[in-house]
Structure 1
Amino acid sequence: MVKGCLLRMGYSGPLNNANYLKACFPKPFKFFIHSVVHALSHRKGGYVVMKDYQMCMVTTLVLKKKYIFF
């Protein structure tokens, strides 16, 4: 489901990696992803790369699915 959402959002990077680059998204989604990474993740640096669990958060928000954020 995550890879399908990435394709819908226009991601232009490799899909088989566990890390996704924020620069490979179109401009409207860059700000959305930037907000998710800063607000909902526990990272202190490295905001250019998204991990797979962060992409699951973005996917559920884009597709309006249920997700329990702990």
Structure 2
Amino acid sequence: MAAKTNAEKQAALRAERKAEGQIPVKIWITPELAERLRAKFSGVRGGIDYRAALEAAVKELGENAC
């Protein structure tokens, strides 16, 4: 069996996440906000852990805010 291409792996991940009921979130942010998020929620390869940032924001708002 041939190895999967990167595109095939990504398609499988998208299908798996969709089956789990996850929702993709896409945003545009300023460079300043990106630096603040990167400082507090650093991700892999110098990126931003957006999931951790969103979870922290929701937790800060409290359960009744949603």
TM-score, length-normalised on structure 2?
Answer: 0.33
More helix by share: 2
- Higher Rg of the two aligned structures: 2
More strand by share: 1
The structure showing larger relative contact order (alpha-carbon pairs under 8 Å, at least 6 residues apart) is 1
